[in-house]
Structure 1
Amino acid sequence: MTVAPAVPDAIVAPRHPGEPLGIVAGGGDLPRLVAAQARLHGWEPRILAVGDGIGAAWLPDDAWPMAWGRLGNAFAHLKDRGVQRLVLCGTVSVRPDFRAILPSLKTLAMLPQIFRVIRGGDDNLLRAAARAFEQRGFELVAVQEILPELLMLPGAVGGALPSVADRAALRRGFEAAGVLGALDVGQAVVASKDRVIALEGIEGTREMLQRVADLRRRGRIGPTERCVLVKGVKPGQDLRFDLPSIGVATIEEAAEAGLVGIGLSAGHALVIGIDDVMAAARAKGIFLWGWTRSCAEEGSA
């Protein structure tokens, strides 16, 4: 089943032209895409750069680089700029060590709450961060409510189709990803039809794929064993943030690891730069598959 890209009708519009939209922006291309699209729809982006987003080029938008020691100042900064609604997006690859920094007075007052927030897995952290914003009167907007066209569609995207064996690998991978996600460990799994090859931990998808590439070089994965990457939402995940995503770099890393395809939760995963991703996938001979329950049933037929 091949599905042409389409844009779901889910865009959140500003309440008035020029309404400020806060963007708590980590690294990667996603925050810039959100800012550009929000401006097209009449928002005025107000960017708070955190973690990997500090030092990025944000023109034409201004960005306030928020060092972790000034986290407590973020709420007042956004309110002073008229922000009521905001988006959390982008990568933060390293968690802050608040015991080793000099916090501002406002951050110091928040340290008990901050220490509760940074415990546990990523989903626990993001839920707690969302509550911290909501308790102060902010409303969170999901990335897909600004950029619904990034959502992965069901079935094949880009033309290539998985074989029966590949669909069995996808099914095994998504079953493992469900267990992994329920433990709030990670979202990504590499699997073949016969076994699970690798599970994502705190290292992230890129380093997991590097590990798979090394396993293949050392002969732990057979030369004819067809493996796939799957990235799925966690059971009960808050869909306003941290959706599984891929970009061109993911295609390149999957190819380096010898994978034949990538499966994503249809309607709940993001493809960043769909045209470039499809071109890269075709060049590398990698299929892209949007996974749904009906796809699973179709694959077992």
Structure 2
Amino acid sequence: MEPRVPGEPLGVIAGGGQMPRIVAEAARARGFHPIVVRIADAIDDDWSAFDGAYYPWGKTGDAIRFLRRRGVARVVTCGTVSRRPDFRAILPSFATLAILPTALRVVRGGDDRLLRNVAAFLRAEGLEPLAVQDVAPQLLAPSGVISGREPGPQERAALVIAATAAAQLGSLDVGQAVVASQERVIALEAAEGTREMLQRVADLKRRGRIGRAERLVLVKAIKPQQDERFDLPSIGVSTIVEAEAAGVSAIGVSAGKSLVIDYDALVAAAREAWIAVVGLAADQGAAPTMDAGPLGLEERR
């Protein structure tokens, strides 16, 4: 995606983590002028190299006005938001009071419903929501081996079990991640998120609730009904670290529909931990596609 005019302002609604900065830098490289509105977990992040401002949840309406005053017509929403906004427990600005009934409707329901509501809300405010991959397509996970090590037979069997369970979990709008062994499903992600789910798996392993012969895998998969402009499954170096601590030896993600953050560093971390990372075929219930073989950096790009 290219700017409609040179220097077109592009809104980046940024939560925490690395992804918003990657997106903003990619947008700048494509000729956009990123306008970064920081929210939630991004409160302490240093964005001094970019135009923009921080807005607490109580000033959501002011953030929308700020973007429109800066000539923004298209926006990308990305980054971590560890807590949903509770508009009933904050003192909103007048601009936010004007949109409060809509804002209260937006935050109801599961994650997928919330994200669809966000898209509808942005359109109603005159802003076109874009996907991360529209601006930074290099983040999309390829099909086949990503980390350089192919999964073994037990890991392949576990990936099929985890991917099948993840598809069912996603259809209920519960979560995106599953840990399984070649014998059974071990853990399902819900509201706690992937990090805390993996901590739970590590605790189960410490308490002997997971057999020594069980090879654990993690699958992060897009939900069947998910709006692909928002919250694609993502993995980064922190995922590798947390997976290793939980005893996970292979990770699968939806090929072409999930994001790999800081690819070089992830590959290095996965090789160091001897964790296989693979992009799974679109048919998540089938055996993972391994035909691509080990992908070097140049092939990935």
In which range does the TM-score fall when normalised by the shorter chain?
A: over 0.9
3-state SS, counterpart of residue 290 of structure 1: strand
Distance 1:126 1:238 in 2: 7
Q: 1:74 to 1:186 in 2, by over 3 A?
A: same
Aligned to 1:65: 54
Aligned to 2:261: 272
* Per-residue deviation, 1:259: 0.6
Work out whether residues 150 and 272 of structure 1, in 8 Å CA contact, stay in contact via their aligned partners in 2. yes
Q: Which residues in structure 2 correspond to 1:45-84 (within 5 Å)?
A: 45-84=34-73
1:186 to 175, 178, 190: 175
Q: 1:173 to 1:33 in 2, by over 3 A?
A: same
Aligned to 2:201: 212
* CA distances 1:124-168 after superposition (whole Å, capped 9, x unpaired): 111101111111221111111111111111111122011222111
Work out whether residues 164 and 299 of structure 1, in 8 Å CA contact, stay in contact via their aligned partners in 2. no
* Per-residue deviation, 1:199: 0.4
Distance 1:48 1:123 in 2: 22
Report how many residues are paired.
Answer: 289
Work out whether residues 281 and 289 of structure 2, in 8 Å CA contact, stay in contact via their aligned partners in 1. no
TM superposition score normalised by structure 2: 0.93
Distance 1:100 1:59 in 2: 30
Distance 1:155 1:139 in 2: 33
Aligned to 2:122: 133
Q: CA RMSD in A?
A: 1.5
3-state SS, counterpart of residue 223 of structure 1: coil
Distance 2:80 2:109 in 1: 17
Aligned to 2:2: 13
3-state SS, counterpart of residue 281 of structure 1: helix
3-state SS, counterpart of residue 212 of structure 1: helix
Distance 2:86 2:282 in 1: 41
* CA distances 1:226-259 after superposition (whole Å, capped 9, x unpaired): 0100000001211011000011010000000001
* Per-residue deviation, 1:297: 4.4
- Choose 257-266 or 64-73, whichever is displaced more: 64-73
Distance 2:289 2:158 in 1: 10
3-state SS, counterpart of residue 260 of structure 1: strand
Kindly indicate whether residue 9 of structure 2 is the aligned counterpart of residue 30 of structure 1.
no
Query: After the TM superposition, which segments of 4 or more aligned residues of structure 1 sit over 4 Å from their partners?
Result: 297-300
Distance 1:43 1:20 in 2: 6
Distance 2:117 2:139 in 1: 26
* CA distances 1:101-121 after superposition (whole Å, capped 9, x unpaired): 111112122222111111111
- Choose 235-244 or 286-295, whichever is displaced more: 286-295
Kindly indicate whether residue 199 of structure 2 is the aligned counterpart of residue 222 of structure 1.
no
Distance 1:293 1:200 in 2: 21
Aligned to 1:5: none
Kindly indicate whether residue 252 of structure 2 is the aligned counterpart of residue 263 of structure 1.
yes
* Per-residue deviation, 1:222: 1.4
* CA distances 1:270-300 after superposition (whole Å, capped 9, x unpaired): 0101111011000001001110057834779
Distance 1:299 1:292 in 2: 5
Q: Which residues in structure 2 correspond to 1:154-173 (within 5 Å)?
A: 154-173=143-162
Work out whether residues 265 and 292 of structure 1, in 8 Å CA contact, stay in contact via their aligned partners in 2. yes
